[in-house]
Amino acid sequence: MSDQQIIEEIQKGNQTLFRLLVDKYQKMVFVTAIGFLHSKEDAEDLTQEIFVKVWSSLSSFKGDSEFSTWLYRIAVNSCINTVQKKQHNRFVELAEEWLQSIFHTESGEKDSQQLMEANETDAAIQKAIDSLPISQRTAFLLSVYDELSQKEIARVMQRTEGAVEQLLQRAKTNLQKKLGSPVGK
């Protein structure tokens, strides 16, 4: 059964078929959310919210684009909104980082040096990715996390392929600039 057929059936009233779409796409949405949020719990909550949004606006899906493209658009927009909301709670994040650093120093008895280095590297990479401008970040995450082609990214972001190529190039250059010193040990 194709996505279009499933959606038509759901629109006719066979709502239990929505489970098929959830089963098929939950991992994809979750990975996208992980890329933006870097937290399993937050990504799960957001995945749930995205599917609720999809459910409530499924009647407006006309099939002009593929369902997966439409779903990606909803997912990416939801992720961006969540990230922007989270930026307002910067203080809480800083407190969490501080608590984490305390926790790591207390529990790091065995190979703590290695663990701390790995954590520092990961934190630096996460920070660098998160500091990318939102369009570069979106293109980059769709490319590396979801492994979408430039054509697919262009469809999701509603841009030209050339623009996406440029965004990806800039994202990579920016990441290399930001990670040049702390990562390249």
Partner 1 sequence: MNAERNIQGFINKEKQIQPNPFLATRIMARIETPQVEPASRWRPVVLTVCLVLTIVVGIGLGKSYQPTFPSYTDVSINDSDIEGLAYFNLNGDE
Residues that bind partner 1 (CB under 8 A): 18-19, 22-23, 26-27, 30-31, 34-35, 38, 40, 43-44, 47-48, 51-52, 55, 121-122, 125-126, 144-145, 175-176, 179-180, 183-185
The two three-digit tokens of residue 2, written as one number: 């194709």
* Residue 125 vs 163, nearer CB to partner 1: 125
Q: Pick the closer one to partner 1 by CB: 157 or 175.
A: 175
Q: Work out how close the CB of 57 gets to partner 1 at its nearest, in angstroms, rounded to a whole number.
A: 13
Strands (E), the chain: none
DSSP character for 13?
Answer: T
At a CB cut-off of 8 Å and minimum separation 6, what does 11 contact? Answer: 58, 59
Quick one: 22 or 74, whose CB is closer to partner 1? 22
Q: Using the 8-state DSSP alphabet, how is residue 17 labeled?
A: G
Residue 129: left if φ>0, alpha if ψ -120 to 50, beta else—which one?
A: alpha
Least distance CB 160 / partner 1 (angstroms): 26
